[in-house]
């Protein structure tokens, strides 16, 4: 019996994630959205590409959460983007209501699933999803570090003129502006990145990676990134369903790791069947620890704002 993957939100990120999942034949897909016709149409369209692309799986678009019952993985992409003039607290309130509704409905029907949160503010929504679902911490994970590190690796490859396949990089901390780069743990073919790129250029690359989402929003004018975010999400789905034990950065619930408690925060982890198998604690220098604290303070303030609502 094939695994079952529910994707909540049939927008660009959700529908593109469904596309990647189908191409990799990871399992049957249920695409859920509140707008009638959108998930049904996109689901049918994707299903009809199967004879051409050669994948044998089922794709169903629906507005009914009953169709999601028994899912192995639940991906939550539903949420509003931050708009000009909107405060962080405004965004938290809007997306908290959406996340609470989605997770409560889906989790009740798939009590053994792994939940992957993609909507923003990422770490805060992952925290909320854990509270609402009642799932153990290893089965509620936020997707952020995979995306941030992919952007980082892309810009390093462009700068150094090398293949992205040879770049290994690790980022930690909150998503986006709050991410913590770790150049000491960045290599190209096993060689420290500093042998290829000078400190000034590397700092510029780090800054561009931090603002990667905003750069795309500014270019698109209307809308935001979806190819890389959905691809990053599907890497996590694949790691879980195929028990790949990938060592990748994810937003995980911390209970003392890195000196942090009661917070979802981007850290390296071993991701496989059942979700997070292990959180990897790296030795950090004083500068890195200072950046970690600054990032954690921002995430904690967001979580505190959620608790106060």
Q: Which of 4, 60, 151, 175 is catalytic?
A: 175
Instruction: Please state which of the ranges 177-186, 260-269, 297-306 shows the lowest mean pLDDT.
Output: 177-186
Mean pLDDT to the nearest integer, 92-98? 93
pLDDT tens digits for 81-90? 766 666 666 7
Average pLDDT of span 216-225: 87
Q: Determine the average pLDDT of the residues in 244-257.
A: 97
Q: Compute how many other C-beta atoms are within 10 angstroms of the C-beta atom of residue 171.
A: 27
Q: What is the pLDDT of residue 213?
A: 87
What's the mean per-residue pLDDT of the chain?
94
Q: Supply the pLDDT for residue 98.
A: 96
pLDDT score recorded for residue 83: 66
Q: Is it the case that residue 107 has pLDDT exceeding 90?
A: yes
At residue 90, the pLDDT reads 78
Six-digit token pair at 295?
């990032």
Catalytic status, residue 175 = yes
In this prediction, residues 29-33 reach a mean pLDDT of 98
User: What mean pLDDT is predicted for residues 236-241?
Assistant: 98
Task: Give residue 139's pLDDT.
Answer: 98
Mean predicted confidence (pLDDT) in 19-47: 98
Q: What is the arithmetic mean of pLDDT over 49-62?
A: 97
With cut-offs at 50, 70 and 90, classify the pLDDT of residue 20. very high
- pLDDT for 86 equals 61
Q: Do the Cβ atoms of 296 and 175 come closer than 8 Å?
A: no
Tell me: pLDDT of 148 over 80: yes
pLDDT more than 70, % of the chain: 97
Q: Which of 149, 189, 145 is nearest to 167 (CA)?
A: 189
């Amino acid at each position: 019996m094939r695994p079952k993957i529910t994707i909540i939100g049939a927008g660009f990120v959700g529908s593109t994630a469904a596309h990647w999942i189908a191409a990799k034949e990871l399992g049957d897909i249920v695409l859920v959205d509140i707008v009638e016709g959108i998930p049904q149409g996109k689901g049918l369209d994707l299903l009809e590409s199967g004879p051409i692309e050669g994948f044998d799986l089922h794709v169903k678009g629906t507005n009914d959460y009953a169709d999601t019952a028994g899912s192995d993985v639940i991906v939550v992409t539903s949420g509003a983007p931050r708009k000009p003039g909107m405060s962080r607290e405004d965004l938290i309130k809007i997306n908290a209501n959406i996340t609470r509704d989605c997770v409560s409905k889906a989790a009740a029907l798939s009590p053994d699933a792994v939940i992957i949160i993609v909507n923003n503010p990422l770490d805060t929504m992952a925290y909320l999803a854990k509270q609402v679902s009642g799932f153990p911490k290893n089965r509620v994970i936020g997707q952020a570090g995979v995306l941030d590190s992919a952007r980082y690796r892309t810009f390093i490859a462009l700068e150094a003129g090398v293949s992205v396949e040879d770049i290994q990089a690790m980022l930690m901390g909150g998503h986006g502006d709050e991410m913590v780069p770790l150049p000491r743990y960045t290599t190209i073919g096993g060689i420290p990145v500093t042998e290829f790129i000078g400190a000034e250029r590397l700092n510029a690359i780090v800054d561009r990676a931090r603002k990667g989402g905003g750069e795309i929003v500014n270019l698109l004018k209307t809308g935001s990134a979806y190819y890389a975010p959905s691809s990053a999400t599907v890497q996590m789905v694949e790691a879980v369903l195929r028990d790949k034990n990938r060592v990748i950065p994810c937003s995980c619930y911390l209970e003392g790791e890195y000196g942090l408690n009661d917070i979802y925060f981007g850290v390296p982890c071993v991701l496989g069947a059942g979700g997070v198998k292990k959180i990897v604690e790296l030795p950090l220098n004083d500068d890195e620890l200072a950046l970690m604290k600054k990032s954690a303070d921002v995430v904690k303030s967001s979580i505190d704002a959620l608790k106060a609502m």
